[in-house]
């Protein structure tokens, strides 16, 4: 009996708390943790692996505080990128002569992390954070302090027994909620999940559903800990949600749904690849088709009876602003189409000034909106200026449009994660001559390589469209 | 008795000789110091005159609103050398030239301000050549706003003696224009502070 009990415990530990085995190894090695401010044991490090890919350059030991490695070119596997600093993100009082010492790490949907060569401080949203070591510039490459930077990216940095320093994206959070009466679970990660990197399994007794995120370490604000933990309280048929590091080096994080009764999971396609969503239904029941589970703007049905004209800027021979790899008119149309879908889902009647690559004059756009007696007019644009100009802004002209502009900009800013250039009044033709509340959005600067790279991602354009839709929904709720 | 006169001293001729020599010497000195000469070492004594300006130009400070890399306008002061009075039209032309010189990427190549007119209501009418209205150039909001308001803010800040501009009307080849890019410029534009960089 005693042996049976031990065996059951061992089976449980392997299946649902595998991290407990790894914890013992990790806890004995401070360098295995990415705990902010801890001094890792640097002596054991022989190589660096980012997102499962080994970085050829050797790590450099610096002052026994952190390990520096030139892994900026591998940041994409952590859902980040490095670029020259946007002037608006520079710390206050920075002399112009020092501008070139700064650069920034960009993470979709978040404020950039601003760093300075030779200074052990990071600036995030105007606040400074100490680093264990300063980034360095050597032979034209930026060397980043791994243990300092990883937590800022939501990533994990741990040293394997073979001396490889693994920098991995992490599983960040789990939400349990209901959409139209259907139990829904969303799991967010710090970087986009590559196709085929999630495995789903089920057991009926006890009833559980689990998901293995291959190549992802533990996040959950665990400060580098790999202990299994309850990451979400239950709801209805879900008793609780736990997570643990199922496998180390390479890492796999397992998320387990403890159920009160057997359920069937239906994975939902998500435009945002950092989000994984499943619907839970009783076995034999067809899963409801709910798209964009977590992403749908609130306020469904609140726009019934409203006519909204969505105007995709430019078109046809008028390409709009050029980027290095794309042009404004195509992104504007895509965002406008996505915006249309969101607004329609909220009950609005949506008309588009163009739904293909056609040139429409400014007068034609205004005439279309006025003749259809639209209640709201939204013109979708992307801005362009220099490579370093950045951010979102929303324009209005008439006083009746001001509240709409502020609501749209607030939501667009939150969705984009870009610098907020605010709301401004300007005499753009389409918002000056339309007779209803009208705004013109500039979702980003296509001339900025980082922002162009973002807007070239469909998931990011969806975020922008969702932000604009949410702003309109907030305006309707508050002011109409 | 015989009288020997050979050793007799006669002072009068000597005195006369000294006086004549002194007169000759002092006369030469007077001529030397009072006669006009072109010699390099000569001291020129000008006749007293009333003061006059050596040049008919003066300097005036212009405030230029120059776009920065972040699509915001920065104020810069420059000294402009002008005529004896600060005529608005001259200063406006100089200001536009300076803007084009310091921020050339903000205006279509070949843009030229042809003439400047004013109206009693404070409107400055800037008449550009046809290059200014190149629709393919004004392809973004930021560019249209920076190009337009760098001019409007600069022109309305000109401290001219004969005119103070309150707003700016754009023309091309003497005709009004409706839009620059997507910006409606069909009627005069007033200066804007929302695009001016705050320090």
The reply to whether B196 touches chain A by the CB within 8 Å rule is no
Task: Assess whether pLDDT exceeds 60 at residue A7.
Answer: no
A–B interface: beta-carbon pairs under 8 A: 71
pLDDT of residue B58: 72
By DSSP bridging, strand A438-445 and strand A376-383 are parallel
Task: Assess whether pLDDT exceeds 80 at residue A268.
Answer: no
For CA atoms A119, A123, A128, A133, the dihedral sign is negative
pLDDT of residue B111: 96
**Which of A208-217, A295-304, B115-124 has maximum average pLDDT?**
B115-124
> What is the spatial distance between Cα A395 and Cα B192, in angstroms, rounded to a whole number?
14
Nearest CA in chain B to A383: B140
Nearest to B139 by CA among A458, A309, A315: A315
How many angstroms away from the CA of A432 is the closest CA of chain B?
8
Nearest to A188 by CA among A257, A255, A266, A276: A276
Q: Is residue B189 part of a domain?
A: no
The reply to whether B179 touches chain A by the CB within 8 Å rule is yes
Structure tokens at A126: 């105007």
Per CATH, domain A307-479 is 3.30.1600.10: no
Q: Is A370 helix (H, G, I), strand (E, B) or coil?
A: helix
More confident residue, A138 or A58: A138
Q: What is the dihedral of CA A379, A385, A389, A390, to 10 degrees?
A: 20
pLDDT of residue A62: 63
pLDDT of residue B47: 37
Q: Is residue B48 part of a domain?
A: no
Per the CB < 8 Å rule, is A424 touching B194? yes
Per the CB < 8 Å rule, is A321 touching B140? yes
Q: What is the dihedral of CA A363, A369, A375, A378, to 10 degrees?
A: -70
Structure tokens at A328: 């404004």
How buried is B164 (Cβ within 10 angstroms: 0-12 exposed, 13-18 middle, 19+ buried)? middle
pLDDT of residue B21: 58
Q: Is residue B44 part of a domain?
A: no
Residues A279-290: what's their mean pLDDT?
59
Sorted by where each begins, the domain ranges of chain A are: 33-167, 170-281, 307-479
Mutate: best of A385, A425, A445, partner B, most B CBs <10 A: A385
Residue A45's pLDDT band (cuts 50, 70, 90)? confident
Nearest to B128 by CA among B146, B110, B144, B143: B110
Task: Assess whether pLDDT exceeds 60 at residue A11.
Answer: no
Helices (H) and strands (E) in chain A, counts: 9, 29
| Total structural domains within chain B | 1
More confident residue, A267 or A383: A383
Contacts of B9 (CB under 8 A, 6+ apart): none
Residues A417-442: what's their mean pLDDT?
96
Q: What is the mean pLDDT of chain A?
A: 81
Residue A298's pLDDT band (cuts 50, 70, 90)? low
H or E stretch at A460: helix A458-479
Q: b/e string for B63-101 if b means 16 or more Cβ within 10 A?
A: ebbbbbebbbbeeeeeebebeeebbbbbbbbbbbebbbe
Q: Is B197 helix (H, G, I), strand (E, B) or coil?
A: coil
Residues A154-174: what's their mean pLDDT?
86
pLDDT of residue A434: 95
Judge contact between A164 and A67, C-beta under 8 A: no
Task: Report cis status (omega within 30 of 0) of the bond before A238.
Answer: no
> What is the spatial distance between Cα A8 and Cα A234, in angstroms, rounded to a whole number?
24
The reply to whether B104 touches chain A by the CB within 8 Å rule is no
Q: Is A224 helix (H, G, I), strand (E, B) or coil?
A: coil
> What is the spatial distance between Cα A80 and Cα A359, in angstroms, rounded to a whole number?
36
> What is the spatial distance between Cα A249 and Cα A215, in angstroms, rounded to a whole number?
9
Structure tokens at B61: 């400070």
pLDDT of residue B8: 53
Name the fold adopted by A170-281. Immunoglobulin-like (2.60.40)
Looking at residue B112, the DSSP 8-state letter turns out to be -
pLDDT of residue B45: 34
Q: Which of A3-17, A250-264, A342-356, A434-448 has the lowest mean pLDDT?
A: A3-17
Residues A252-273: what's their mean pLDDT?
82
pLDDT above 70: percentage of residues in chain A: 82
Please state at what angle helix B141-155 crosses helix B88-102, rounded to 10 degrees: 150
Structure tokens at B140: 């973004």
Q: Is B188 helix (H, G, I), strand (E, B) or coil?
A: coil
How buried is A224 (Cβ within 10 angstroms: 0-12 exposed, 13-18 middle, 19+ buried)? buried
Contacts of B160 (CB under 8 A, 6+ apart): B86, B87, B88, B91
Residues A18-44: what's their mean pLDDT?
39
pLDDT of residue A284: 58
H or E stretch at A478: helix A458-479
Q: Is residue B102 part of a domain?
A: yes
Residue A212's pLDDT band (cuts 50, 70, 90)? confident
H or E stretch at A430: helix A429-432
Nearest to B88 by CA among B137, B175, B16, B159: B159
How many angstroms away from the CA of A439 is the closest CA of chain B?
13
DSSP string, B127-181: EE-GGGG-TTT--SHHHHHHHHHHHHHHHTT---SS---SEEEEEETTEE-SEET
Task: Assess whether pLDDT exceeds 90 at residue A224.
Answer: no
Per the CB < 8 Å rule, is B194 touching A321? no
Angle at A165 between CA A228 and CA A34, to 5 degrees: 45
Judge contact between A69 and A42, C-beta under 8 A: no
**Alpha helix positions (H), chain B:** 11-34, 88-102, 141-155
Q: b/e string for A137-173 if b means 16 or more Cβ within 10 A?
A: eeeeebbbbbbbbbbbbbbbbbbbeeebbbbbbbbbb
Nearest CB to B69: which of A389, A426, A428?
A389
Nearest CB to A429: which of B71, B142, B184?
B184
Judge contact between A104 and A82, C-beta under 8 A: yes
> What is the spatial distance between Cα A423 and Cα A441, in angstroms, rounded to a whole number?
9
Q: Is B8 helix (H, G, I), strand (E, B) or coil?
A: coil
Per the CB < 8 Å rule, is B70 touching A88? yes
More confident residue, A461 or A8: A461
Q: Which residue has the tokens 């490889």?
A: A164
Write the CATH number of the domain with boundaries A33-167.
Answer: 3.30.457.10
Task: Assess whether pLDDT exceeds 70 at residue A382.
Answer: yes
Mutate: best of A89, A426, A434, A448, partner B, most B CBs <10 A: A426
Residues of chain B with pLDDT under 50: 1-7, 27-28, 30-54
Whole domain around residue B69: which residue ranges? Answer: 58-184
pLDDT above 90: percentage of residues in chain A: 38
pLDDT tens per residue across span A79-122: 888 888 888 888 888 888 888 899 999 887 678 899 999 899 99
pLDDT of residue A245: 85
Residues A312-322: what's their mean pLDDT?
95
> What is the spatial distance between Cα A227 and Cα B5, in angstroms, rounded to a whole number?
150
> What is the spatial distance between Cα A444 and Cα A424, in angstroms, rounded to a whole number?
15
For CA atoms B39, B41, B47, B49, the dihedral sign is positive
pLDDT of residue B180: 95
ipTM over 0.85: no
Strand partners, A350: A308
The reply to whether B139 touches chain A by the CB within 8 Å rule is yes
Q: Is residue B7 part of a domain?
A: no
B 36-65: CB under 8 A from A: none
Residue B28 CA neighbour count, 13 Å, CB half = 5
pLDDT tens per residue across span A124-140: 877 889 998 889 888 88
């Amino acid at each position: 009996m005693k042996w049976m009990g031990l065996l059951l415990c061992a089976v449980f530990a392997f299946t649902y708390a595998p991290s407990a085995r790894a914890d013992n190894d990790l806890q004995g090695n401070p360098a295995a943790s990415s705990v902010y401010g801890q001094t890792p044991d640097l002596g054991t490090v022989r190589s660096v692996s980012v997102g499962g890919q080994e970085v050829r350059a050797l790590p450099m030991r610096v002052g026994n505080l952190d390990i520096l490695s030139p892994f900026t070119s591998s940041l994409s596997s952590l859902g980040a990128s490095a670029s020259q600093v946007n002037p608006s993100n520079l710390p206050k009082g920075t002399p112009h002569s020092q501008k070139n010492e700064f650069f920034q790490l960009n993470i979709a949907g978040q404020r950039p992390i601003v760093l300075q060569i030779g200074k052990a401080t990071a600036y995030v949203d105007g606040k400074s954070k100490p680093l264990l070591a300063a980034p360095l510039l050597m032979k034209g490459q930026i060397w980043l302090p791994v243990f300092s930077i990883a937590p800022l990216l939501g990533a994990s940095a741990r040293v394997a027994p073979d001396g490889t320093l693994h920098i991995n994206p992490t599983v960040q959070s789990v939400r349990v909620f209901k959409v139209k009466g259907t139990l829904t679970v969303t799991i967010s990660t710090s970087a986009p999940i590559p196709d085929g990197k999630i495995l789903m399994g089920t057991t009926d007794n006890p009833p559980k559903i689990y998901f293995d995120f291959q190549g992802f370490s533990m996040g959950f604000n665990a400060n580098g800990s790999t202990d299994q933990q309850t990451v979400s309280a239950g709801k209805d048929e879900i008793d609780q949600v736990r997570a643990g590091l199922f496998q180390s080096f390479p890492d796999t994080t397992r998320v387990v749904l403890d159920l009160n009764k057997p359920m069937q999971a239906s994975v939902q396609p998500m435009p945002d690849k950092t989000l994984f969503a499943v619907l839970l239904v009783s076995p034999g029941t067809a899963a409801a088709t709910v798209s964009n589970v977590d992403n749908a703007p609130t306020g469904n049905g609140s726009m019934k009876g409203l006519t909204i004209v969505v105007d995709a800027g430019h078109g046809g021979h008028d390409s709009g602003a050029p980027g290095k790899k794309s042009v404004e008119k195509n992104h504007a149309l895509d965002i406008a189409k996505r915006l249309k879908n969101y607004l329609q889902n909220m009950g609005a009647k949506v008309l588009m000034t163009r739904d293909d690559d056609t040139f429409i004059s400014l007068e034609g756009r205004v005439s279309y909106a006025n003749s259809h007696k639209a209640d709201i007019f939204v013109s979708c644009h992307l801005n362009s200026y220099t490579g370093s100009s950045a951010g979102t802004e929303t324009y209005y002209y008439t006083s009746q449009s001001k509240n709409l502009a502020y609501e749209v900009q607030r939501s667009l800013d939150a969705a984009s994660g870009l610098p907020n250039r605010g709301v401004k009044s300007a005499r753009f033709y389409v918002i000056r001559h339309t007779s209803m509340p009208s705004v013109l959005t500039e979702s980003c600067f296509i001339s900025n390589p980082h922002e162009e790279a973002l807007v070239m991602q469909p998931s990011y354009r969806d975020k922008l469209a969702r932000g604009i839709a949410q702003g309109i929904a907030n305006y309707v709720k508050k002011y109409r | 008795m015989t009288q020997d006169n050979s050793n007799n001293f006669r002072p009068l001729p000597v005195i006369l000789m000294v006086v004549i020599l002194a007169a000759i010497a002092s006369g030469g000195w007077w001529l030397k110091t009072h006669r006009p000469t072109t010699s390099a070492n000569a001291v020129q004594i000008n006749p007293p005159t009333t003061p006059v300006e050596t040049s008919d130009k003066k300097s005036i400070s212009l405030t230029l609103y120059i776009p920065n890399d972040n699509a915001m306008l920065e104020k810069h002061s420059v000294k402009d050398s002008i005529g004896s009075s600060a005529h608005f039209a001259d200063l406006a032309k100089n200001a536009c030239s300076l803007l084009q010189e310091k921020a050339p990427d903000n205006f279509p190549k070949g843009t030229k301000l042809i003439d400047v007119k004013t109206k009693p209501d404070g409107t400055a009418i800037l008449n550009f050549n046809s290059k200014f209205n190149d629709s393919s150039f004004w392809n973004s909001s930021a560019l249209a706003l920076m190009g337009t308001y760098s001019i409007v803010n600069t022109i309305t800040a000109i401290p001219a003696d004969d005119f103070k501009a309150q707003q700016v009307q754009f023309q091309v080849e003497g005709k009004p224009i409706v839009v620059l890019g997507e910006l409606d410029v069909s009627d005069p534009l007033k200066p804007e502070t929302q695009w001016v960089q705050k320090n």
